[in-house]
Amino acid sequence: MIANEETMRILMVKAQGGDKQCYSSLLLECEKWLRRYYARKINPAAIDDLVQETLISLHRKRASYDPTKAFLPWLAAIGRYRWIDSLRKIYRHEHDELYEEMVADPQDEDVTAKVSLERLLGMISDKQAEVISLVKIEGLSISEAAAMTGQSESLVKVNIHRGLKKMSSLIENE
Amino acid sequence: MNMNANSLIDGLVDELEPIKTIKPITGLAVTGLLTLGVMAAVTITLGVRNDLAMGMADEMFFLRSGVLLMLGIATTFTVVNMARPGVGNLNRGWIWAALTAALFPVTAAIMSAINAPPVEALRPMEGLKCLAISGLSASVIGTGLTLWLRQGAPTSPERAGWLVGMASGALGAAAYNIYCPFNDIYYIGMWFTLPVLISAVAGRLIVPRLIRW
């Protein structure tokens, strides 16, 4: 069970005021939320690092949260930024089983749907999203992705590059 | 949750101190003060246009000033809001200001197609001076805005770079505009557009590496 949007907002406001107990609770909730947020959107072996990097970014950039606004859209913007950054760094990883239990968070379904990574992937072309999913998330090689999609290897690379670039410009879009 | 995440959270909690949230109004104030500063510097070092000094400025001066200031304010407003990210924040108002500002070069291009402009209307020597002083003013304003933006968390550093450049270019040109005595549409279309474009390109090339987080 993850705290709801309003609870997280209140915890964040208190954390900005220096309340360590609230901050600890908030980070624990964010850690759980981020694990679900990134599930199926990055190789499971990379999730720990990505979640931790996002928590560090949250900490460093906590002054950028506007206490009068909802918390999850802010967290999601930071999460998307770190996710795309992470996808750019991944060139090849092992095939792993995706954790079946890591399904989308049922809490705050409306908010989660608006800020989801799925929606971000839906903003780029199908061909770009397909090769990003195959190579950067599922861990196939460029040649495997090329054989699977019928795109040439160079086109796979171009589509990955363009897709990531497009997504990075759309991070704050719903 | 694994041990690493646990110890990371403990470490982050230990580091926690009260912070002041970033306020876009501060970024606007920094940009506004720098713009007033470069306007004062232009006035002191170069002076103001004669017609303005006499209180009878040409209508083109007001049009040009208004368009440059609106472009500068709208893009600055977008930049300062980019410091506080959030899915759903679109901040696209600057596009309308940029389209309005494009009326000057577009009109100049159409007029040039109809009647080839006399070379003297472009005044290359004065134009280069306009470009240099506007660019210098833009660099002062852009530096301040970039330093302020570094505190924030812009999720699209490239777009932020374009917009910092465009904002500072427009405000820098607005500062030089106080002195510039020329009202010709060809001159304005070229020499007041170039500083904005060059500054935007410079912003795209320089700013992202300074604000990436």
Task: Work out the pLDDT band at A97, boundaries 50, 70, 90.
Answer: very low
pLDDT of residue A95: 45
Task: Name the residue of chain B whose CA is nearest to A167's CA.
Answer: B156
Q: Is the pLDDT of residue A101 over 60?
A: no
What residue spans define the domains of chain B? 20-211
pLDDT digits (tens, 9 = 90+) for B36-66: 999 999 999 999 999 998 988 899 999 999 9
| Contact by Cβ (8 Å): B190, B105 | yes
pTM for the structure as a whole:
0.88
CA distances to A77, A111, B78, B207 from B164, rounded to whole Å, are 21, 31, 9, 8
pLDDT tens digit string along B90-141?
888 899 999 999 999 999 999 888 887 777 778 888 899 999 999 999 999 9
Give the span between the Cα atoms of A139 and A147, in whole angstroms: 14
Q: What pLDDT score was predicted for residue B84?
A: 96
Residues of B in contact with A55 (CB under 8 A): 5, 8-9, 12
Give yes or no for A56 touching B (CB within 8 A).
Answer: yes
B167: tokens are: 């904002």
On the question of pLDDT at A103 being above 80, the answer is: no
Question: Which tokens in the block code for residue A167?
Answer: 């997504």
Using a CB–CB cut-off of 8 Å, the residues of B that contact A are 1-2, 4-5, 8-10, 12-22, 83-90, 151-153, 155-156, 158-159, 213
Task: Give the ipTM of the model, two decimals please.
Answer: 0.86
Kindly identify which residue of chain B lies nearest to residue A116, measuring between CA atoms.
Answer: B87
The tens digit of pLDDT for each residue in A77-92 reads: 999 999 999 998 865 4
